[in-house]
């Protein structure tokens, strides 16, 4: 779960630095730049298109092509342009990206696999589910830190979040063992996904219990997880957590909107009113 900045911009991906002498990009220029010999221009263009050019048909095609880029490589063998292209495709809501992104789940670059998993969650196509579940095969034992790298063997957190978005109830048995994963972030991503998929309060309570025992950074992400989960009994725990009010407001807003979207009635439910009363007190 990425930490939002204090201005609530959930796009906390690190912004690539603008290329030297960069003028504001136009759509035409950005598309051209995707195949520019200057790799930093390619990289920036892919990011720019994801942020500023939704709804443009040629953009998706160009980004899909970039998923096969071979030119932009890191010293360790990663594919930076592919990563940015995969991230951008998640935001463009075009289903042509689904099959290519599923293929990216097999890329040798962990960060490409991670970005592809996240984007598949955003695109919402159930066809992604089996391949995403594959990432969790082998359970906790396989999902260990890779020696010498700062990441696990597979992007378990991203996979679980995507399966959660896709409401892949069938994935619950596969996710459950991750409740005991040694990495806390992974444990809690599993708890959140289990709650969303099963609606069993025991999983929501795990998140609530964890708040008291964690450090500030983890607490903040727990609050956001609780908000995103829609576990209403967690609202009070959010409101009284030892975290800045701004974070609590964001988490509660998420929870409220989650809840409201599931309602069919026009008038606000008592539960919604309770959440708003908690928010009022945080002002």
Partner 1 sequence: MTNSADAVELIQSVEQADSPARLVAAVRSLAAAKLEAGIPTLITILGYNNPEAAVVALEGLVQLGDVAVLPLLEQLDDYNYGARAYSFRALAAIADPQALEKLLSAAETDFAPSVRRAAAKGLGNLQWSKLPLEQRQSAQARSLKTLLLLSHDPEWAIRYAAVVGLQGLATAELVSQPDLVSQILDRFNQMATTDTDLAIRARVQMAQQQLNATSVNLQTLSS
Distance separating alpha carbons of residues 27 and 34, to the nearest angstrom: 11
Report the C-alpha gap between 88 and 115 in whole angstroms: 9
* 60-68, 172-180, 224-232, 265-273 -> range binding partner 1 (CB under 8 A): 265-273
Task: Rule CB under 8 A: say whether 132 interacts with partner 1.
Answer: no
Contact 258, 269 (CB under 8 A): no
Chain centroid to CA 220: 16
Q: Does 272 bind partner 1 (CB under 8 A)?
A: yes
CB of 166 to partner 1, least distance (A): 22
Contact segment (CB under 8 A) with partner 1 among 9-17, 26-34, 222-230, 267-275 equals 267-275
C-alpha span between 107 and 78 (Å, rounded): 9
The C-alpha angle with vertex 232 and arms to 227 and 238, in degrees rounded to 5, equals 50
Contacting residues for 46 by C-beta, under 8 A, at least 6 apart = 34, 63, 66, 81, 84, 85, 87, 88
**Smallest distance from the beta carbon of 138 to partner 1, in angstroms?**
40
If the CB atoms of residues 183 and 276 are measured against partner 1, the closer one turns out to be 276
Is 218 an interacting residue with respect to partner 1 (CB under 8 A)? no
**Residue closer to partner 1 (CB basis): 107 or 252:** 252
Measuring CA to CA, how many Å separate 107 from each of 20, 21, 159, 196? 31, 33, 15, 29
Q: Which stretch binds partner 1 (CB under 8 A): 118-126, 138-146, 151-159, 256-264?
A: 256-264
| Interaction residues for partner 1, span 99-128 (CB under 8 A) | none
Residue 268 as a binder of partner 1 (CB under 8 A): the answer is yes
The closest of 230, 232, 192 to 210, measured between CA atoms, is 192
180 strand-pairing partners = none
Query: Should residue 271 be labelled a site residue for partner 1 when binding is judged by CB under 8 A?
Result: no
Of the residues 60, 249, 251, 278, which one makes contact with partner 1 according to CB under 8 A: 249
Binders of partner 1 in range 1-20 (CB under 8 A): 7-8
Given candidates 101, 107, 226, 279, which one binds partner 1 under the rule CB under 8 A?
Answer: 279
The answer to whether the CB of 250 falls within 8 A of the CB of 224 is yes
- The Cα–Cα gap between 97 and 120 comes to 9
Q: Residues interacting with partner 1, by CB under 8 A?
A: 7-8, 242, 244-246, 249, 253, 256-257, 260-261, 267-268, 272-273, 276, 279-280, 283
């Amino acid at each position: 779960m990425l930490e939002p900045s204090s201005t609530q911009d959930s796009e906390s991906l690190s912004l690539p630095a603008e290329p030297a002498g960069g003028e504001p990009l136009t759509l035409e220029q950005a598309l051209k730049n995707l195949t520019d010999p200057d790799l930093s221009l390619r990289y920036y263009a892919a990011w720019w298109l994801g942020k500023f050019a939704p709804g443009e048909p040629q953009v998706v095609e160009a980004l899909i092509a970039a998923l096969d880029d071979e030119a932009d490589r890191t010293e360790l063998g990663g594919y930076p342009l592919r990563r940015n292209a995969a991230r951008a495709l998640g935001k463009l809501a075009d289903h042509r990206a689904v099959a290519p992104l599923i293929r990216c789940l097999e890329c040798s670059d962990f960060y490409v696999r991670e970005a592809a998993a996240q984007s598949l969650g955003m695109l919402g196509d159930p066809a992604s589910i089996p391949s995403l579940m594959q990432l969790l095969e082998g359970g906790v034992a396989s999902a260990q830190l890779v020696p010498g790298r700062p990441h696990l063997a597979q992007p378990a957190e991203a996979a679980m979040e995507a399966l959660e978005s896709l409401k892949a109830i069938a994935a619950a048995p596969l996710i459950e063992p991750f409740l005991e994963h040694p990495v806390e972030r992974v444990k809690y991503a599993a708890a959140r996904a289990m709650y969303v998929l099963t609606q069993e309060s025991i999983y929501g309570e795990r998140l609530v219990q964890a708040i008291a025992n964690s450090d500030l950074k983890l607490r903040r992400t727990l609050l956001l997880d609780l908000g995103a989960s829609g576990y209403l009994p967690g609202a009070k725990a959010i409101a009284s957590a030892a975290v800045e009010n701004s974070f609590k407001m964001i988490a509660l807003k998420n929870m409220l909107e989650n809840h409201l979207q599931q309602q069919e009635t026009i008038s606000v439910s008592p539960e919604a009113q309770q959440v708003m009363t908690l928010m009022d007190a945080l002002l």
